[in-house]
Structure formats: structure tokens, C-alpha cells
Amino acid sequence: MKITSIIFLLFQLSAFFSCTLKPDLEAIEAQLTPYPAPVISGVEPSQLFTGGGTTVEITGENFAPGISVKINGSNCLVMSLTGTTQLQCLAPASAEGTFAIEVTGFDGKTDSDFVTYDKLAYSRLSLVVGKLTFPSTNADGFANNGDSKGASQMAVDGNYLYTVDYDGHKFKKINLSTFESETIVGTGVNSGPDVTDPNPLLATLSNPQCLVKSGNIAYFCLSDRAIGKMDLSSGAITVIAGRVPADSNTYAPGDPLGDNFYLITHIFLLNDKLYVIDWDVIYEINLTTPAITAVAGTYNSGAMADGNGPAGTFDQMTAAELLGDKLYVFDEDSYGGAIRKIDLGSGNFEVTTVLGDIADLPAYGEESVDGVGNAATLNIVKSITTYGTKLMLADEFDGDQVKIRIFDPATGEINTMKTILTASNKHILGAIDGAARIRAYQIRGIKYVENFGLLLGTSYGLLRLQ
């Protein structure tokens, strides 16, 4: 073979192997080149709710498909990945504390930051029972197929929420896992209280506001002037105070089955006694006698004053909660009010103002301020619930917002935790900082449930702040 032919053949072979092997070599080189490790530059929010469910947004670099996120060793489910610089994940439940949040790439490389879990780190408002329409049907069922209309005083027992629906004229039970609502008493029609029918579902209630539960026994309002007792095992209902139907023209405290009450808003059980908040008077019902006695306040006094028993007077008590053997009530004037404490354990039923100044209540348009004792102010407290050794209040200002505030009776200090904006004619549920809107004047009650969130009973349904 001629030398020129050999050189030409070698040139062709060189070109063939160059074209054939180069892509493979590039692929191998790409596989051998390490992908940059993920880098976290921001985590929002950095405070997460202990019950889980907070959407966490992580920003940074070098995020890629296959990336995973863990918080304190538990998966934070990746919901979305935007390019290589942003992802969102759903936070798991956790105990309180500060923990590492770790982002891991598909090749095992990681970067980490820290987040803090808090029982009150609420970031979302959602409707869990009912519909955003009014009037609603007040039907039973799961979530939006059922209704909860104006849940006022609420009780939690295990996985169930028991509530009376002021606007729905029913006593209901709600499963907090499935949010299935079930009627215990009432037809949903306000035709005056009547519990003579042996079938509780055929009994009628009239704007019930009060409820307390102990084991299989529940005490609840039949109307704003009568209280019933129900054995939840048998379904039997008896009237223990007030008259059914009530005589709206009579108000004469005395006989338990007489026309005792003016406007019942709350009841509380302490030992074998039931304490009734009735506008401007607090009554004690001895459940073993039974006997009814006015222990604090004076009917139609029209004034607020500290003192023992009848000398401690109220204007109108519209929200209340029992903490130990101390009863805390919100005593309301036209545009504001004060928190008054009634000592039920001392025997003299001393009434003391512990938050706000009854001699200098807020004027129209004056927004409430945080502080200690009489240096703090309140607008219109819609409801109060216990939060450990503290109290949580829903305080409405001028129909435009509701402040969730924490009051510590030990120090006398109140602080605003969250502010929920409101709108007079619409609801916008979602992130609560500056976006969520509810109708403030439709809030009937609130109930704190640890590691679950804050439940708000409204005329449109049951809301969950988490």
C-alpha cells in the first residue's frame, strides 16, 4: 500500500473515533463533575406552628429536582420548586423549640438553617365547617357540607368539639379530625325553646349561647333565659333553671324554675355549682339542692364598681372565662370596657378590675393599647378562652379588625399576638398578616386547642387559625 493511502486511512479512522467517542466522553465528564451543593439564603417564616401545616418558603441557590427538606429529622414535604432558587414545603408538627431545617440535594449534599416552633405561630386562617354564605342551611355533614352557625361557648373533650350555635339554634358536636358536624339537640328553627319531646332532634332552642360539659353530662342554654341539663348517653333533657317557654315580660330571680334571667351569655361549672353570667348579675346554682343565688352584681345598676358581692357592679358582661376558681369577665360600655375578676373561691365573691380603667374607658375611634393593669385599654372583646395559665381574647376595633391578645393574670399585662383584618361584606381567607378578612361582628366565640390552633365561631361557619 502506498504511503499516501495509509496516511489517508489513518486520517479517516481518527475522524471516526473523534466523532463517535466525544459525546460519550462529555457525558462521562459531566457525571464526574460534582453538582454544586444547595445553599440556603432565607427561610420564611422562621417561626412555625407546633401543630404543623405551615407553608415554608426557602430561597437560595442550586436547588434541583430530587431535593428534599427535613426539620429536626422529619420530612417537610416539598410542594413546589421554582427554578434553582426557590422551593416551598409543608412543615411537620413538632414540639416547641429551635431546630435545624436541612435541605439535601439529589447527590446527598446539604445546607442548613434554623427555625423555631411556637404554639402561637399562626400563619393561616381557614374555614373548617360551614360555608361562606349567609344564611346557611345549618345542616350536618363533613366540612363544607355541614354548618356551624355562630358557635359561642365551646367545650373540647378528646377529639370532639361541643358547641351551641347561637344563629343556628342547635347544640352540636364536631369531629376535629374529619370536621364532621352532628346535631345533638335542636331542629335549627327558632320557634321558642321546647324540650318536651323525648327526641332531642325534635326539641327546639332559641339563640343558645352557653355550654359546659362534664363527662356525659352537658349543661347548656335552651334560650337566653333558661338552662337545660342533658345526659349525653341517654339523650334525656331536663330544665334546671329558668322557665320554658320563658315569659319575656317577667324578671324575678328566686325559684330556679321561675323567670330568673334577663340575658344569659355564659355558664361555668366549679365543683357542684353552676355559675351563670346574666348581663349584669352573676348567679350561683347549687346543683345538689337546687337553689339559685345572686352572688355578684346588681340588676340594672348601669355602672361599674369594685366590691364584694352585690357591691361589685357591672354594666354588661359580654365575654367570660373561668381560670381556676377565678372568673374573668369583659364588662362592656359603648366603645370599650375592662376585664373584671370575680373570686369564686373566697366566699365573699370579691369583684376587682384587673385590666383597663373603669373610670376612663376608650372613646369612640380610640384603638386599644397593650400595657399593664389600668394602663392598658380594650375595645369590644367578643370572646375569651384559656391559654394555659393565661387568657386569650378576641378584641374587635371599630368593625375593621380583630386583635388576638394574650392576658397574663399573674402580671396584669396584655399583649397583642395577631391582628386579623375584617370586611363588612366579604371574606378572604388565607395568610392572616394583612390578607385574611372576616366579619368581626359575626364572631361569637373562640376556643384555644393546644397544637391544633384557635377556633373562631362565626355566623358563617367555624374558622381555624393555625
Q: Answer yes or no: do 111 and 240 share one domain.
A: no
For residue 195, give the DSSP letter: -
Residue 341 lies in a domain: yes
Q: What's the one-letter identity of residue 251?
A: Y
Residue 3 lies in a domain: no
The most confident of the ranges 144-158, 189-203, 282-296 is 282-296
Return the SS3 of 143: helix
Residue 363 lies in a domain: yes
For residue 93, give the DSSP letter: P
pLDDT at 165: 84
Q: What strands, in cross-sheet order, belong to the sheet with 237-241?
A: 211-214, 217-221, 227-231, 237-241
Q: Answer yes or no: do 111 and 130 share one domain.
A: no
Query: Mean pLDDT across the stretch 365-377?
Result: 94
Report CA-CA distances (Å) from 15 to 7, 11, 22, 72, 169: 12, 6, 11, 56, 89
Q: Answer yes or no: do 110 and 201 share one domain.
A: no
Exposure of 191 in the CB half-sphere (CA atoms within 13 A): 9
Alpha helices in 33-154, H assignment, sequence order: none
In the chain, the percentage of residues whose pLDDT exceeds 70 is 80
Q: How far apart are CA 378 and CA 122, in angstroms?
A: 22
Write phi, then psi, for 389 (nearest 5 degrees): -95, 10
* Beta strand ranges found along 190-334 (DSSP E): 211-214, 217-221, 227-231, 237-241, 264-270, 273-278, 281-286, 291-297, 307-308, 317-323, 326-332
- Evaluate whether 68 touches 104 at the Cβ level (below 8 Å): yes
Among 60, 91, 118, give the residue marking a domain's end. 118
For residue 24, give the DSSP letter: H
**pLDDT tens digits, residue range 394-442?**
998 866 678 899 999 999 999 998 877 654 434 434 444 444 445 544 6
Q: Answer yes or no: do 175 and 290 share one domain.
A: yes
Q: Answer yes or no: do 114 and 130 share one domain.
A: no
pLDDT bracket for residue 7 (50, 70, 90): very low
Grid coordinates of 227: 338552662
Among 84, 118, 152, give the residue marking a domain's end. 118
Grid coordinates of 118: 411556637
**pLDDT tens digits, residue range 10-21?**
445 454 445 444
Q: Is the pLDDT of residue 330 over 50?
A: yes
Q: Is the pLDDT of residue 190 over 60?
A: yes
Q: Answer yes or no: do 407 and 354 share one domain.
A: yes
Q: Answer yes or no: do 421 and 336 share one domain.
A: yes
Average pLDDT, the chain: 82
Q: Answer yes or no: do 173 and 202 share one domain.
A: yes
Q: Answer yes or no: do 159 and 94 share one domain.
A: no
First to last CA, the chain: 87
pLDDT at 126: 78
- Evaluate whether 330 touches 317 at the Cβ level (below 8 Å): yes
Displacement of CA 402 from its chain's centroid (Å): 13
pTM of the model: 0.83
pLDDT bracket for residue 222 (50, 70, 90): confident
**pLDDT tens digits, residue range 122-168?**
877 777 887 655 444 555 544 444 456 667 899 999 999 999 888 78
Residue 435 lies in a domain: yes
Q: How far apart are CA 384 and CA 354, in angstroms?
A: 15
Number of domains forming the structure of the chain: 2
Residue 32 lies in a domain: no
Residues pairing with 172 in the sheet = 163, 183
Q: Answer yes or no: do 102 and 139 share one domain.
A: no
- Evaluate whether 306 touches 352 at the Cβ level (below 8 Å): yes
pLDDT bracket for residue 262 (50, 70, 90): confident
Pairing of the two strands 125-130 and 55-61 = unpaired
Query: Mean pLDDT across the stretch 292-318?
Result: 93
Which single residue is written with the C-alpha cell 327546639?
A: 204
Q: Is the pLDDT of residue 242 over 50?
A: yes
Q: Domain of 92: which CATH number?
A: 2.60.40.10
Query: Mean pLDDT across the stretch 244-266?
Result: 62
Q: How far apart are CA 179 and CA 291, in angstroms?
A: 39
Name the residue among 447, 451, 401, 450 with its Cα closest to residue 129.
447
Residue 362 lies in a domain: yes
Residue 385 lies in a domain: yes
pLDDT at 442: 66
Q: Is the pLDDT of residue 287 over 60?
A: yes
**pLDDT tens digits, residue range 342-354?**
999 988 999 999 9
Q: Answer yes or no: do 102 and 135 share one domain.
A: no
Among 118, 149, 175, give the residue marking a domain's end. 118
Residues pairing with 174 in the sheet = 161, 181
pLDDT at 14: 52
Domain range enclosing 48: 39-118
Q: Is the pLDDT of residue 24 over 60?
A: no
pLDDT at 135: 46
Q: Domain of 363: which CATH number?
A: 2.120.10.30
Q: Answer yes or no: do 277 and 180 share one domain.
A: yes
Residue 16 lies in a domain: no
